[in-house]
Amino acid sequence: MLPLLLAKGGLMMWLLLVASAVGIGVFIERFLHYHRAQINSAEFLNGVRNVLKRGNVVEALSICEATPGPVARLVKTAILNRERSREEIREVLEESGRIEVPRLEEKLNVLATIAQIAPLMGFLGTVLGFIKIFYRLQQAGLYAHMGQLSEGIWEGLICTALGLAIAIPGYAGYNYLVSRVNEIVLDMEKTSTEVLHLLSESRTLP
């Protein structure tokens, strides 16, 4: 069945397959990136807190550098600016957060675009298939038979089905990745607040 579909899908089918491959690649890359970026922020902060209580800033920075993801980078930024006032540290953290969020959202627009245009590409393939049918009808006139028209019908149906088959999981994958980004951003916001308290506590220690 698959060889038949590949043989009769036409040019638009191959373009849809390329778009599908790009979408799958983007989804896998972003999924792995978010998996590495999302850490147990509470456990991470407890480790940093214990080290800072001992006054070992270098070890705290080493922990941040060894931990992947934007949360660890925010904590490292806060520690590097620990001598500033609380308000200044907050501003630095907000600026760092504004830099991190676009990194998290990188390439998501590619997946969203593929999910949006795949049905349109499929519809275009259907129109091209019907154009082929009417061309054959015009050429053959009253002597046209089903065998001459079937190629255009196949092309139209395959492109429509493939466009929808790409768009449905594409939308689902995009929404899933957006939810992962929102979770990480929420972790970043909570961590920013907690690290401010942490640095304030470390200043009051004897």
Domain extents in the chain: 2-204
Model confidence over 159-171: pLDDT tens digits?
A: 899 999 999 999 9
Q: Is the pTM of this model over 0.85?
A: no
Rounded mean pLDDT of 1-28?
81
* The pLDDT value given to residue 205: 43
Please enumerate in sequence order all residues whose Cβ is within 8 A of that of 97, keeping only pairs 6 or more positions apart, or say none. 70, 74, 185, 188, 189, 192
Residue 145 φ/ψ, nearest 5 degrees:
-130, 170
Confidence of residue 175 (pLDDT cuts 50, 70, 90): very high
Which has more confidence, 20 or 151?
Answer: 20
Contact (Cβ atoms closer than 8 angstroms) between residue 10 and residue 133:
no
Residue 19 has pLDDT above 90, yes or no: yes
Model confidence band, residue 179 (pLDDT cutoffs 50, 70, 90): very high
Q: Is the pLDDT of residue 196 over 90?
A: no
pLDDT band, residue 206 (cuts 50/70/90): very low
Q: What is the pLDDT of residues 77-122, one digit of tens each?
A: 888 888 888 888 888 888 988 898 999 999 999 999 999 999 999 9
Instruction: Supply the pLDDT for residue 109.
Output: 94
DSSP 142: G
Average pLDDT, the chain: 85
| Max intra-chain CA distance, the chain | 99
Residue 22 has pLDDT above 90, yes or no: yes
Asked if pLDDT for residue 139 goes beyond 80, the answer is: no
* 3-state SS assignment for residue 205: coil
- Two tokens at 71? 């949360």
